[in-house]
Amino acid sequence: GELYCSLPNPRNVHFESINMKNVLHWSAPDGTGDGVLYKVKYSVYGVGKWIRKSECRNISRTWCDLSSETADYEEQYYASVKAFLHGMCSDWTETARFSPLTETKIDPPMVSISSTEKSISIILTAPEKWKGSPEEESISLAQVYPGLQYNVSILNKKTKKRWWFSVSNTTLVVPWLEPGTVYCVSAQIHVTTPLLHSAFSKEYCIATLKDK
Amino acid sequence: KLFHFGPCRISMSMNEIRAGFAAIKDNIQGRDPIRTVSILSHPHSLHKIKSSEKCCIIHHLFNFYVDKVFKYCTTEDSYVNRKISSIANSFLSIKRNLAPCHNQNMCKCGQESTEKFKQILTNYRGLNVTSAAMKSLGELDILLDWMEKSR
């Protein structure tokens, strides 16, 4: 049975989610040094059965990967953490209700570019949803978010002139450029609702071919 | 934004509703201690409903939120109350937009959507009115997520 629970609770129990890789994080109870151990449980909202996460039982780290358990992004979840030290324990401390679909952070898109004399072609690829193993089917976040768009910035390195495009499809051809000039491209993912956007990718630079 | 629910098409300011809900989500969901029950998504998810019957369920759901949810969700926090009434007003205008299509009998209610809505009412009546209304409001993102998939 549980011991007398007078240990302070773990603090700031929350999910950190990137591309739907959902990891539970927390901070150690106030005033406790080393030696604190934790156990973790989670539940699907509306189902209510708490399920222990066996790989996160008696752990000393302050995070626990619950991506597999929270992979269905049409559901919402709670998770909870309990701390143990010197025969004492804390109460269970819960997260707020976690909705992977609206709370995940999205990585920038992959950008690949090629050029001709007067144009640049840009191919944009949205990140994939987290998956448990390489054998699993890959799901692009573009499938998860029907309203996913790309904001693309193009900079003429010579004139410092910059253009902005907002596109839904994955290929963008920019015509009427100057031959023999370096252009730098950066792109961001933007989902209109739920309102989500990634950081901008790093810049990818390419020179248009010289006039023949 | 335009949304297609079976034969009916409605334009909606989804961003506004989403932003309003996001501002009060933790506050409202924090008032709902019952983890074991969901009004909208259990035992059967909204996502399982055939697209041809979405119009019927959306019609019922908007009436449900206007008639049985918003009016019972008053809090001691005036900021939260303002956000709730702003969302309620959006729902009222969407309900009005949907009415013509529904009144032209284009919103067929099949067995699946009828059963689903009956389940929602059963879940709702399983709690006292204030708890049921607050829980339903806390599940607005579940409704919005499902509606988004209907664009």
By CA distance, what is B150's nearest residue in A?
A: A146
Residues of chain A contacting B19 with CB distance shorter than 8 Å: 195
Q: Is the pLDDT of residue B51 over 70?
A: yes
Q: What is the pLDDT of residue B85?
A: 96
Of A49, A97, A194, the CB nearest to B18: A194
Tens digit of each residue's pLDDT (9 = 90 or more) over B117-137: 999 999 999 999 999 999 999
pLDDT digits (tens, 9 = 90+) for A191-201: 987 889 999 99
| pLDDT of B44 over the 80 cut | no
| Strand-pair partners of A85 | A88
Would you state the torsion angle of the CA atoms of residues B122, B110, B41, A126, taken in this order, to the nearest 10 degrees? -170
Average pLDDT of the segment spanning B74-83: 96
- What mean pLDDT do residues B70-93 have? 96
* Residues A40 and A65: beta-carbon distance below 8 Å: no
- DSSP assigned state of A132: S
Distance CA B131, CA A177 (A): 62
Cis check for the bond before A194: say yes or no (omega within 30 of 0).
yes
Q: What is the pTM of this model?
A: 0.90
Residue B151 CB contacts under 8 Å (≥ 6 apart), including other chains: A146, A147, B1, B2, B3, B4
Give the residues across from B47 on adjacent strands. none
d(CA B84, CA B75): 10
| CB contacts, 8 Å: A78 with chain B | 35
| pLDDT at B98 (0 to 100) | 85
Q: Please provide the average confidence, as pLDDT, over all residues in chain A.
A: 94
Q: Please give the backbone phi and psi of residue B130, each rounded to the nearest 5 degrees, phi first.
A: -65, -45
Alpha helices in A32-171 (DSSP H): 100-103, 141-144
Residue A190: the pLDDT is 96
Closest CA to A65 of A15, A111, A30, A110: A15
Q: What is the mean pLDDT of residues B94-98?
A: 88
pLDDT above 60 (res A106): yes
Spell out which residues of chain B touch residue A96, defining contact as CB-CB under 8 Å. 26, 29-30
Domains of chain B in start order, with CATH, are 2-148 (1.20.1250.10)
Whether the predicted pLDDT of A3 surpasses 60: no
* Cα of A134 vs its chain's centroid, Å: 18
Q: Is the peptide bond before B7 cis (omega within 30 degrees of 0)?
A: no
Tell me the two tokens of residue A62: 């302050």
**Mean pLDDT on A106-134:** 96
**Do B142 and A195 make contact, defined as CB atoms within 8 angstroms?**
no
- Is residue B57 helix, strand or coil? helix
- Say what percent of chain A tops pLDDT 70: 98
Taking 60 as the threshold, does the pLDDT of residue B38 lie above it? yes
Q: Which two tokens stand for residue B58?
A: 């959306």
CB atoms within 10 A of CB A97: 20
pLDDT at B151 over 70: no
Q: Which residue has the tokens 């529904």?
A: B102
The pLDDT score that the predictor gives to residue B46 is 85
Instruction: Flag if A46 and B37 touch (Cβ within 8 Å).
Output: yes
DSSP at A85: E
**The two structure tokens encoding residue B57:** 């369920």
Output the average pLDDT for chain B.
90
The alpha carbons of chain A give a radius of gyration, in whole angstroms, of 23
The closest alpha carbon to A149, from A106, A85, A204, belongs to: A106
The pLDDT confidence band at residue A2, using thresholds 50, 70 and 90, is low
In chain A, what percentage of residues exceed pLDDT 90?
Answer: 89
Q: How far apart are CA A148 and CA A196, in angstroms?
A: 9
Residue B13: pLDDT band with limits 50, 70, 90: confident
Neighbours of A76 (CB within 10 A): 26
What is the nearest CA distance from A38 to chain B, expressed in angstroms?
22
pLDDT reading at B150 higher than 70:
no
Domains within chain A, CATH numbers bracketed: 11-103 (2.60.40.10), 110-207 (2.60.40.10)
Identify the CA nearest to B135 among candidates A75, A45, A104: A45
3-state SS, B1-28, equals CEEEECCEEEECCHHHHHHHHHHHHHHH
